[in-house]
Structures are given as C-alpha cells and as structure tokens.
Amino acid sequence: MLDRAESVPTTSVSDLPPTGLVVLDVREPDEWAAGHAPEAMHIPLGELPARAAELAELPDDQPVYVVCRGGGRSARAAAWLNAAGIVEAVNVAGGMKSWATEGRPLVGERDGVPPEVL
C-alpha cells in the first residue's frame, strides 16, 4: 500500500508559507526525537494506515505538508493519503534536511542536545 510513490503535489521548503502550516512528519521515532518542525504531527510511515483516523482531526481547508528526512517516504505517504481521500497532502521536497538548510525552526525531544536532522 505504501510501497510506491505516485504523482503527488510537491513543493520546496522555500515555497512553504512562513506560518500556519499543517505538517505531518512520517519519520521514525529516533529521527523525530532528534529534531522536527514545531507543531508538526508525528506518525511514522509504517503506522500511517493504522493511524489514518488521527488525520481526520486536521483542518480540511488547507493542505497537509508531509515531510521525512529527504522526501522519499513523504512522497509515498502523500500519494497514499491523496489516493485514499484522507487529506489533501503535499510532499515537501528535500524533507527535513531542506527544512534545516532553509533555516526553519527545529525542536528536539532529547534533553541537553541541540535539535538536528537525522
């Protein structure tokens, strides 16, 4: 189900609005803990089908920007979310690596360690 990426809307980090984003991070827990976008929702790619109902709580009047480390997993997730009609999903090209390079804020879950993208 989440094995192949189909054609999905994609945007670069530099083209994202500066505020008011709905971000879904599909990375693994250790990647998330190291550093993620503030206010992002975390559902690892492998858990997405089982936890899709949680996405129903997101606003349906704006896109959900899906991120991973570099853009591959998020493309698969966005394709699945769009095909299933769950949300309007947009893949973020370059993922959290580009997020950090563009100077967007990062927060981490590890005490005493600055946030970083794994």
Q: Determine which one of 24, 55, 68, 81 is catalytic.
A: 68
Whether 54 is in a domain gets the answer yes
Residue 66 in this model has a pLDDT that exceeds 60: yes
Residue 77 lies inside a defined structural domain of this protein: yes
Q: Could you confirm whether 44 is annotated as catalytic?
A: no
The 3-state secondary structure of 36-90, one letter per residue: ECCCCEECCHHHHHHHHHHHHHCCCCCCEEEECCCCHHHHHHHHHHHHHCCCCEE
Instruction: Name the least confident of 26-30, 84-88, 91-95.
Output: 84-88
Domain span holding position 53? 10-101
Matching residue, tokens 């827990």: 29
pLDDT band at 56 (very low <50, low <70, confident <90, very high): confident
Domain total of the chain:
1
- Domain with residue 37: its CATH number is 3.40.250.10
Kindly state whether residue 25 falls inside one of the protein's structural domains: yes
Tens of pLDDT along 3-48? 444 589 999 999 999 888 999 999 999 999 999 999 999 999 999 9
Higher pLDDT, 7 or 66: 66
Of residues 47 and 55, more confidence is placed in 47
Predicted model pTM: 0.91
